[in-house]
Amino acid sequence: MVPGLSYSRPLSSAALSRNRPMQLTINGNPAEVAPRPGQCLRTLLREHGWYGVKKGCDAGDCGACTVWVDDNPVHSCLYPAFRAKDRHITTIEGLSPENGTLHPMQAQFLAAQGFQCGFCTAGTIMTAAAKGGAMRTPMERVLKGNLCRCTGYRAIRDAIEGRRHVQEDLPGASVGRSLGSPLGPALVTGQARFTADEPPLPGLLHLKVVRSPHAHAQVLAIRKEAALEVPGVHSIFTWEDVPQHRPFTSATHDDYHVDPDDTLMLDRVMRFVGQRVVLVAADSEQAAALACDKIEVDYEILPAVFDPEEAMRPDAPILHHGKDAASRISHPERNVLREIHGENGNVAAGFEEADVIVENTYATHRQPHVTLETHNSHSHLSPDGRLHVRTSSQTPFLTKVKLVYLFNLYPENLHVYTERVGGGFGGKQEVLTEDLCVLVTLKTGRPARWEFTREEEFTATTTRHPFRVKVKLGARRDGTLTAMSMRVVTNTGAYGNHGGEVLGHSLNEAFAVYRCPNKQADGYAVYTNCVPAGAFRGYGLTQTAYAVECAMDELASTLGMVPAALRRKNMIQPGDTLLSIWPHPGDLEIGSYGLAECLDLVEAALASGRGEPVPQSPEWCTGQGLALAMLDCGPPTEHRSEARIDLLANGSYQVAIGSAEFGSGSLTVQRQIAATVLGCPVESVKMVTADTDKTPYDTGTFASTGTLVGGGAVLAAAKVLKEQLLRLASRYTGQPIDSCQLSGAAVDCANHPLPLSELLARAEKEGHRLSAVRRAYAAPRSVAFNVHGFRVAVHRITGQVRILQSVHAADAGQVLNPMQCRGQVEGGVAQGIGWVLREDMQLTPEGRIANPTLRHFRIPAMADLPETEVYFAHTHDRIGPMGAKPMSESPVNPVAPALANAIANATGIRFTDLPLTAPRLYPTLAHRPTLPAQDIALS
């Protein structure tokens, strides 16, 4: 053996040391780089400006960072940077030939629109296009290392298999056509700029926080001296550095009164594992992370409570002790954030009238959003002293209001904007990173950036609220409902956020969709020492729809009725007043009615014999189930959006609107609406969005408002501008206005075309401004309907559930973009299936999340999802813009009960508590007397 080298621990000053410079080529460009020891290729590439390489998980599970090393696809987050020496690296930016054409796989993704938010797209294309990629089969195995949270994968599969869905534009008639996203070309080439895709500004500080290891604790002391010694550390902030008299809520709503002010930017009391304790700002992420390790915090550990029923008991630990009425917490002394009671008619009398009563309690579990782009934001001061915040948010305007309040700023001094946002689903209707970036920038004068890790996404953002719902239904023998009641207890976690609004919403449509004179509910949103819950697609209705729709099946079974027939007998009809537990209908009405058609479509599809073959082994049992859901089109509190449309000098248009685009496609639809009214190709309409400097106010893109309210504002503004243009054209050409029509870049006045550029020049000379601004509101509101059906097989021994057929029918009114609307349905269905069958966020007895990684918390991969048949009802809404109703949020709602009903139908057992995973199903299945004898011997 040769004399050994001794590797002793380097001094901490070497923490930022780099390896020797090395050569490599990136997309054909030679580069000399000096990676840090321990650096991965992903960050090296991004440091050199290749932002097409994304961070989804940073742990090799999601594939968003896929690049080729000498033509071999690898996850660059796992690839040691030093190994790239002398290698040829190809990122999405280098995939297409230099002549500006697209690689075939990029073209296929465009043609099939194999993306929604587009954050996973680069990695998926680099995988499918790679050696060993698409030519391998089966495709679900090729793509098992690529996760998408938006699409449900059907569109991705179609892209890889070369199917085309994008249609040609018809100028002036683009509404109703399947047009691609305006950002599509940028997404498939890696040029689209997501929130973190910007070169660092000089002096940039990176933020990291120390997070609480305890579910409930009082901070006694914080020692930061050792951390301040770490080279590159600039400053450290604790609760003493933020105002303690200015509580807020991280939830964003136009009317902030609907959410409780129970949160401090940095607090002395820790209420969940993962809460921020200490903030570090440093020259690099590495220095900030190392400094966090060196901060010592002394805690007094307090008793914690994780179950909401326990939290309401008199002896439970109190989370928000002493908070007064100004916090808008209903009963802080009982941990009750919000308590709601309501009754319509007389429920006691209704149950008296009933021939049959069913009653059961259903439980739903926590679900994280898992947007592929993690929360992140960036703040800086410009030389004029204004503060700019770029953020991954669904609500830039509300975020601005929140920051103005927190830091006592003049609104005109603050600019908040988004670029492309990588997924939302409600999870970015929160201020979770922006406040501390602004704190650092204001305190230090330097730019600040904070990008959550994947683990922080699980432990320190928000989730769908866990619910426990006791449902009681009474009916006459013929199936007529006589009374409906429920008791709902939700777990809002350590902070209230959306808890009150989610509870309120949950008590509405699940009941209102049925005719029944007597309805009653008691609801409690309860604080516990869990990670806070927040807004999530469906907003509480997903949970109560699950409970009520399962109960409807149990009622049908008790009555000996077909479940669909029971629903037909009781569901609302056109012209009905929509009432739940409150006596007044509010502004909700049936602007169009496609519920019956949806139910028919799903029933027919389930009876068609399509789908996977039924497994022949007696170990499998099969069954089918369906469920329906109604969703109000927009939030109940005032929601408004404003659009401004300008005619530009070259005869094209610019639409400025404040709504954010994060994959739901509202931008695509808004552009189609404008182009249809203005008689031009969509290419002639440029969209500017979600920027408090450049666009008018918008309440935010949530609660299904992108098409409805944003689209409504664009429609109104476009009509006004069109009117202006025609009137002027008529005057300038001397032709009657009736003979004038917009035609591309000109006004055609009785066959005398007047170019818009000329019209504009002349109008401006006369002092006219060819611009229109209009506002739209989410009131009155219509309702959208969704029905889902499944056929399933359940393995009696292992508990495995296999979906044989999945069918969805949606009433979206006039479908403005069928391809995109289908994608929204499929995405919602995927999240529903994942929630029921796969996604199990586990809590340790200490209140820590046990599986905060995509490796151990499995969102569905391509292999886990069936292809869903999607149908649309033929309706035209009298309220929504151009007859449309929103369809991003609602498709998730009937999925869980339909699946649970199918499993109940297959097994003869009602499983009430989600998730329905094999380990939870098998013990009950194994003891069914219907099992073949040879199977019993197993346990």
One of 89, 160, 215, 290 touching other proteins (CB under 8 A): 290
Residue nearer to other proteins on the CB measure, 133 or 894: 133
From residue 441, how far is each of 233, 235, 598, 851 by CA, in Å?
A: 15, 11, 53, 34
Stretch that binds other proteins, among 78-86, 148-156, 320-328, 341-349 (CB under 8 A): 78-86
Measured from the CB of residue 36, what is the shortest distance to other proteins in angstroms? Answer: 7
- Per the DSSP assignment, residues forming a β-bridge with 244 are none
Residues 799-818 that bind other proteins (CB under 8 A): 799-800
List CB contacts of 373: < 8 A, sequence separation 6 or more.
54, 56, 117, 119, 194, 195, 196, 392, 421, 422, 423
- Go through the chain and tell me how many residues it has: 939
Work out whether 186 is an interface residue with other proteins (CB under 8 A): no
Residues 83-102 that bind other proteins (CB under 8 A): 83
For CA atoms 794, 800, 802, 807, give the dihedral sign.
positive
Measured from the CB of residue 903, what is the shortest distance to other proteins in angstroms? Answer: 15
User: Of 466, 467, 628, 470, which Cα lies nearest the Cα of 549?
Assistant: 628
Work out whether 37 is an interface residue with other proteins (CB under 8 A): yes
Is-cis flag, bond preceding 845, omega within 30?
Answer: no
Measured from the CB of residue 44, what is the shortest distance to other proteins in angstroms? Answer: 9
Residue nearer to other proteins on the CB measure, 290 or 717: 290
- The mark string for 747-786 relative to other proteins (x by CB under 8 A, - otherwise) is ----------------------------------------
One of 104, 132, 303, 445 touching other proteins (CB under 8 A): 132
Stretch that binds other proteins, among 40-48, 348-356, 393-401, 652-660 (CB under 8 A): 40-48
Residues 894-933 that bind other proteins (CB under 8 A): 917-919, 922-923, 926
One of 794, 797, 833, 899 touching other proteins (CB under 8 A): 797
One of 26, 33, 40, 787 touching other proteins (CB under 8 A): 40
Residue nearer to other proteins on the CB measure, 43 or 367: 43
- The mark string for 858-897 relative to other proteins (x by CB under 8 A, - otherwise) is x-xx-xx---------------------------------
One of 27, 39, 367, 652 touching other proteins (CB under 8 A): 39
- Per the DSSP assignment, residues forming a β-bridge with 621 are 794
Residues 435-494 that bind other proteins (CB under 8 A): 453
Cβ neighbours, 10 Å, residue 243 = 12
Cβ neighbours, 10 Å, residue 324 = 8
Work out whether 145 is an interface residue with other proteins (CB under 8 A): yes
Secondary structure E strands in 676-717? 685-689
Stretch that binds other proteins, among 9-17, 180-188, 435-443, 605-613 (CB under 8 A): 9-17
Matching residue, tokens 């409930």: 216
Work out whether 50 is an interface residue with other proteins (CB under 8 A): no
Work out whether 310 is an interface residue with other proteins (CB under 8 A): no
Q: Which two tokens stand for residue 514?
A: 């049925």
The answer to whether the beta carbons of residues 896 and 874 sit under 8 Å apart is no
Measured from the CB of residue 935, what is the shortest distance to other proteins in angstroms? Answer: 8
Measured from the CB of residue 725, what is the shortest distance to other proteins in angstroms? Answer: 53
Residues 320-339 that bind other proteins (CB under 8 A): none
Q: Which two tokens stand for residue 147?
A: 């996760």
Residues 12-31 that bind other proteins (CB under 8 A): 12, 14-15, 17, 19
Work out whether 36 is an interface residue with other proteins (CB under 8 A): yes
The answer to whether the beta carbons of residues 858 and 839 sit under 8 Å apart is yes
Measured from the CB of residue 555, what is the shortest distance to other proteins in angstroms? Answer: 32
Residues 827-856 that bind other proteins (CB under 8 A): 838, 840, 842, 850-851, 855-856
Q: Which two tokens stand for residue 561?
A: 């009725």
Matching residue, tokens 């901490």: 12
Residue nearer to other proteins on the CB measure, 593 or 857: 857
Measured from the CB of residue 160, what is the shortest distance to other proteins in angstroms? Answer: 15
Measured from the CB of residue 69, what is the shortest distance to other proteins in angstroms? Answer: 8
The answer to whether the beta carbons of residues 295 and 278 sit under 8 Å apart is yes
Cα separation, 544 vs 567, whole angstroms = 16
Burial of 589 (0-12, 13-18, 19+ CB in 10 A): middle
Measured from the CB of residue 151, what is the shortest distance to other proteins in angstroms? Answer: 17
Helix/strand/coil for 595? helix
Residue nearer to other proteins on the CB measure, 232 or 780: 232
One of 31, 34, 59, 409 touching other proteins (CB under 8 A): 59
The answer to whether the beta carbons of residues 903 and 623 sit under 8 Å apart is yes
Measured from the CB of residue 46, what is the shortest distance to other proteins in angstroms? Answer: 11
Cα separation, 395 vs 428, whole angstroms = 8
Measured from the CB of residue 917, what is the shortest distance to other proteins in angstroms? Answer: 6
One of 6, 137, 382, 616 touching other proteins (CB under 8 A): 6
Matching residue, tokens 């950036």: 449
Work out whether 309 is an interface residue with other proteins (CB under 8 A): no
Residue nearer to other proteins on the CB measure, 126 or 763: 126
Matching residue, tokens 């509202």: 666
Diameter of the chain measured on Cα atoms: 100
Cα separation, 387 vs 413, whole angstroms = 6
For 465-488, give one letter per residue: b (16+ CB within 10 A) or e: bbbbbbbbbbbeeebbbbbbbbeb
3-state secondary structure 43-108: HHHHHCCCCCCCCCCCCCCCCCCEEEECCEEEECCCCEHHHHCCCEEECHHHCCCCCCCCCHHHHH
The answer to whether the beta carbons of residues 382 and 575 sit under 8 Å apart is no
Cα separation, 19 vs 479, whole angstroms = 75
Helices (H), 778-879: 818-837
Burial of 401 (0-12, 13-18, 19+ CB in 10 A): buried
Residue nearer to other proteins on the CB measure, 792 or 861: 861
Phi, psi of 759 (to 5 degrees): -60, -45
One of 75, 402, 446, 640 touching other proteins (CB under 8 A): 75
One of 136, 223, 874, 878 touching other proteins (CB under 8 A): 136
Stretch that binds other proteins, among 70-78, 105-113, 383-391, 489-497 (CB under 8 A): 70-78
Measured from the CB of residue 792, what is the shortest distance to other proteins in angstroms? Answer: 15
Work out whether 140 is an interface residue with other proteins (CB under 8 A): yes
Stretch that binds other proteins, among 135-143, 592-600, 670-678, 818-826 (CB under 8 A): 135-143
Residues 261-280 that bind other proteins (CB under 8 A): none
One of 74, 110, 674, 783 touching other proteins (CB under 8 A): 74
List CB contacts of 871: < 8 A, sequence separation 6 or more.
598, 601, 602, 605, 807, 808, 809, 810
Work out whether 285 is an interface residue with other proteins (CB under 8 A): yes
The answer to whether the beta carbons of residues 817 and 177 sit under 8 Å apart is yes
Instruction: Give me Rg for the CA atoms of the chain.
Output: 28
One of 22, 31, 34, 78 touching other proteins (CB under 8 A): 78
Cα separation, 655 vs 670, whole angstroms = 9
Stretch that binds other proteins, among 247-255, 486-494, 691-699, 798-806 (CB under 8 A): 798-806
One of 96, 113, 124, 127 touching other proteins (CB under 8 A): 127
Residue nearer to other proteins on the CB measure, 831 or 875: 831
Cα separation, 757 vs 501, whole angstroms = 49
Matching residue, tokens 């409902």: 481
Cα separation, 117 vs 891, whole angstroms = 18
